[in-house]
């Protein structure tokens, strides 16, 4: 079952769509009263079945990101069982943790998501309660276009929970941005009401609100999940713990009419058939048209989903298809779509919605400072080692930054004041703001430590107070910015000064009311990728990523861990894989410049693995390392550790132990959209070539496909094209203005100058012919640059009034027979376009 036109549909409907949390604020109260004087009674009857839901958003694992106590997500739910089972939208709770449910009477319960189905956008939340008021569900056949409906929910803010609005059913069988049909209502929809009830004038739930269109100029366009879809999902949750969806193995394509919303006259085109699927087994082929599922005609993907949800996996269903001019019916035994299970998310600090409850002070244990922690103080940016941090006020009245830098304790009061007057960049490249007008400048002596103080205006925006403390070789700089409106309020100003006065150059680890925000660590950090792989490295290491790889470096970049994950091809084995890698390594370096040991067997992530130790050099310093190989859950995992060979010892051994002892693969945490990731090394042919053609300078040649290329210009605008490989290159320079004789003179002078500068630089030159008679000058050099020996051959010749300079260079370390043959073959393939035309 596919959705080939998701992007197309989004394009068609982009003027409308935005998933939002739902609330209805439509007609005025007088209009509502005119529609139905019984609305208050109906709302009074139904409200106890509607709850508000609030929780924390799920965060990235980045340790410098703040778990902002005010950054909360909220939505709405409907009670379906008196024992505390609540239905809501999947998008409300799928990324929510530490869920709290508030009933209409204000009672608060801790809850957690037990079932999530993103395709229907429905989920269940469980709370430990009894005697609740379950909602009554209507029959879908009783819903009529134009009937009055009301919505109860939590729009905009959690403080507005149990808001009620009234509207009508604007349309049925809508299918915008959903797998299933939706109810359209003219009720205005606002963030926070997702998962709330859309009820009829009998007090029955006819749908669960799910989205609104919020594009500029679009009004009164909201949607709800119909009651029959809700009942279908709830029944599956109860019976199976999930929605058991049948699987056919088809990617289906709608007609143009269906995409733009016109009535379609054709079925769904089969764009792709999974080779191992039920559809393939039944003989359904690409470009067939699916006309019906059982007795249900299908012309849109929503038609298809509505039809297929009537069946269960392992059911047999008749599928009518059109192939060319003939129509046939296929009997298909359905498979099952597999989805990951719901996991109960809880914050590492516990289930409390406010993880900072009871914390009245905040500080950093590593840098040794603390201060008061007002309820409205929100932590913002923080540097990786914690020496720079910013706070803002939840109401937007002020901001506060703290910067800790190394500084001599001998700095005089005047020098310290002068230092605070200027603006400096923090670890993020953001500059501290310097006041435009200084209002106060003094050195304050107080018990607990003196400090320098600068107060000034920041243009017309507000006021800045900066304080600087010297302590044990560090400068602690506090900078408070207050908006103009609040600074002139004496009461507010006293509270700001009280916050600054509370700053202390101490941290009491025994004080339970003190929150530690230190991110500094001398231990390890665990990394996880989309393939379920996790491992630990020292916290001082840094990560960089690019397509297909992740690299990790220590603080001076001398040590590196590189991670590569690809799919295991059918029939591949651990031994065969590591042997291919060994052969590639040996083919790259001559024996004198490489070492590789026999693979060592070990266990990683609970499966057999191999560790291969190696070392390589270009002639100066040796680089050593280990390659770790293992295969698990259809993927090949390779971790390569490299470091300078002269650093071998306890530190490297500890690194390897930390890495190998923490490697794990969790299948459940894999990205569910991952497919087959081809290992390019399996397809690589080092001798395969491609044609490079330069029309301007009239030449072509065959270059190994695995080489890379670059272009450069010298100060005379001579163009050089370089083809690069590990340890060498082939460069072609072309000049239409320089004669052969001048080019030779220039090269003679350059070679002689190099020899004069270094007597070990020795070159030879001779007249020769190339390409069947072309006069050329050949220069050959064998030299060691920075202890890296290499051989370089340069040819100068003229063809078609163009002077060419071709240089072939290869380090001795990589001068294997195969590498040298590839380089010489590439040069020998040089052809001149005009000559080729003759």
Cβ count near 398 (within 10 Å): 23
Closest to 285 measured CA to CA, from 324, 338, 246, 337: 324
Here the tokens at position 211 are 């989205």
β 122-127/108-117 pair status: antiparallel
Rounded to whole angstroms, how far apart are CA atoms 258 and 592? Answer: 68
- Give the C-alpha distances (Å, rounded to integers) separating 212 from 126, 182, 195, 503: 26, 12, 12, 48
Closest to 626 measured CA to CA, from 664, 665, 608, 652: 652
User: Which residues are within 8 A (CB) of 119 and not within 5 positions of it... i.e. 6 or more apart?
Assistant: 179, 243, 245
The distance from CA 291 to its chain's CA centroid, rounded to whole angstroms, is 40
Contact 309, 641 (CB under 8 A): no
Contact 483, 397 (CB under 8 A): yes
Active-site positions read 91, 121, 194
Three-state SS string over 754-794 comes to HHHHCCCCCEEEEEEEECCCEEEEEEEEEEEECCEEEEEEE
Rounded to whole angstroms, how far apart are CA atoms 49 and 162? Answer: 10
Contact 50, 196 (CB under 8 A): yes
Instruction: For residue 590, count CB atoms less than 10 angstroms from its CB and return exposed for 0-12, middle for 13-18, buried for 19 or more.
Output: middle
For residue 225, what is the enclosing H or E element? strand 222-226
Contact 835, 824 (CB under 8 A): no
Helices (H), 399-489: 413-421, 484-487
- Give the C-alpha distances (Å, rounded to integers) separating 370 from 173, 361, 402, 453, 514: 60, 7, 11, 19, 8
Closest to 455 measured CA to CA, from 439, 436, 467: 439
Beta partners for residue 242, in sequence order: none
DSSP state of 82: T
């Amino acid at each position: 079952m596919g959705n080939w036109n998701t992007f197309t549909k989004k394009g068609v409907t982009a003027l409308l769509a935005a998933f939002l949390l739902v609330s209805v604020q439509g007609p005025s109260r007088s209009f509502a009263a005119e529609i139905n004087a019984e609305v208050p009674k109906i709302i009074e009857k139904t409200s106890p079945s509607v709850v508000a839901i609030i929780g924390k958003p799920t965060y990235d694992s980045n340790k410098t990101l703040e778990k902002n106590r005010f950054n909360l997500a909220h939505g709405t739910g409907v009670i379906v069982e008196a024992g505390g089972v609540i239905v809501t939208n999947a998008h409300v709770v799928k990324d929510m943790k530490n869920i709290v449910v508030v009933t209409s009477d204000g009672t608060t319960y801790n809850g957690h998501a037990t079932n999530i189905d993103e395709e229907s956008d429905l989920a269940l939340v469980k709370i430990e309660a009894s005697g609740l008021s379950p909602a009554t569900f209507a029959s879908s056949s009783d819903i009529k276009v134009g009937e009055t409906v009301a919505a109860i929910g939590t729009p905009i803010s959690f403080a507005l929970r149990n808001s009620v609005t009234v509207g009508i059913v604007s349309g049925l069988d809508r299918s915008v941005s959903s797998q299933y049909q939706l109810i359209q209502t003219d009720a205005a929809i606002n963030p926070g009401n997702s998962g709330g009830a859309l009820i009829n004038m009998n007090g029955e739930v006819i749908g669960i609100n799910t989205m609104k269109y919020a594009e500029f100029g679009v009004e009164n366009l909201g949607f709800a999940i119909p009651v029959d879809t809700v009942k279908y999902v709830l029944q599956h949750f109860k019976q199976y713990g999930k929605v058991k969806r049948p699987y056919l193995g088809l990617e289906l394509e709608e007609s143009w009419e269906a995409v733009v919303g016109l009535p379609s006259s054709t079925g769904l085109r089969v764009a792709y058939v999974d080779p191992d699927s039920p559809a393939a087994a039944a003989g359904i082929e690409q470009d067939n048209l699916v006309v019906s599922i059982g007795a249900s005609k299908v012309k849109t993907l929503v038609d298809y989903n509505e039809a297929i949800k009537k069946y269960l996996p392992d059911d047999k269903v008749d599928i009518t298809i059109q192939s060319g001019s003939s129509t046939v019916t296929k009997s298909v035994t359905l498979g099952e779509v597999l989805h990951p299970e719901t996991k109960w998310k809880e914050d590492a600090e516990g289930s409390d919605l406010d993880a900072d409850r009871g914390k009245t002070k905040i500080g950093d244990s590593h840098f040794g400072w603390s201060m008061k922690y007002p309820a409205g103080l929100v932590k913002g940016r923080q540097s990786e080692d914690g020496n720079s941090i910013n706070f803002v006020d939840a109401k937007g009245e002020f901001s506060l930054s703290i910067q800790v830098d190394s500084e001599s304790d001998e700095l005089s009061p005047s020098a310290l004041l002068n230092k605070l007057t200027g603006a400096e960049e923090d670890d993020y490249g953001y500059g501290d703001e310097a006041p435009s007008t200084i209002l106060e400048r003094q050195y304050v002596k107080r018990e607990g430590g003196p400090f320098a103080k600068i107060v000034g205006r920041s243009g017309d925006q507000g006021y800045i107070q900066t304080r600087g403390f010297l302590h044990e070789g560090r400068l602690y700089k506090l900078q408070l910015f207050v908006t103009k409106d609040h600074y002139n309020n004496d009461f507010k100003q006293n509270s700001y000064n009280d916050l600054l006065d509370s700053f202390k150059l101490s941290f009491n680890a025994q004080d339970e009311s003190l929150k530690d925000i230190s991110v500094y660590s001398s231990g390890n950090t665990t990394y996880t990728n989309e393939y379920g792989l996790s491992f630990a490295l020292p916290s001082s290491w840094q990560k960089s990523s690019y397509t297909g790889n992740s690299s990790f470096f220590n603080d001076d970049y001398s040590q590196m861990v590189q991670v590569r994950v690809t799919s295991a091809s059918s029939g591949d084995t651990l031994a065969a894989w590591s042997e291919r890698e060994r052969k590639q390594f040996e083919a790259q370096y001559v024996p004198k410049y490489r070492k590789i040991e026999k693979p060592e067997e070990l266990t990683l992530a609970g499966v057999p693995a191999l560790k291969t130790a190696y070392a390589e050099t270009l002639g100066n310093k040796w680089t050593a390392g280990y390659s770790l190989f293992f295969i698990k859950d259809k993927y090949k995992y390779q971790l390569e550790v490299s470091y300078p060979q002269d650093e071998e010892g306890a530190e490297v051994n500890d690194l390897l132990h930390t890495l190998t002892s923490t490697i794990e693969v969790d299948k459940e945490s894999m990205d569910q959209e991952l497919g087959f990731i081809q290992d390019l090394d399996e397809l690589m042919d080092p001798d395969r070539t491609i044609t490079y053609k330069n029309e301007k300078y009239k030449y072509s040649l065959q270059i190994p496909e695995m080489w890379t290329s670059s272009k450069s210009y010298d100060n005379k605008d001579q163009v050089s094209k370089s083809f690069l490989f590990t340890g060498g290159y082939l460069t072609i320079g072309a000049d239409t203005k320089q004669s052969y004789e001048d080019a030779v003179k220039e090269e003679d002078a350059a070679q002689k100058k190099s020899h004069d500068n270094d007597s070990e630089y020795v070159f030879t030159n001779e007249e020769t012919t190339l390409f069947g008679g072309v006069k050329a000058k050949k220069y050959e050099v064998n030299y060691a640059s920075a202890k890296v020996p290499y051989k370089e051959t340069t040819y100068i010749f003229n063809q078609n009034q163009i002077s060419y300079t071709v240089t072939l260079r290869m380090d001795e370390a990589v001068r294997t027979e195969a590498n040298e043959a590839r380089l010489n073959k590439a040069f020998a393939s040089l052809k001149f376009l005009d000559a080729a035309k003759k």
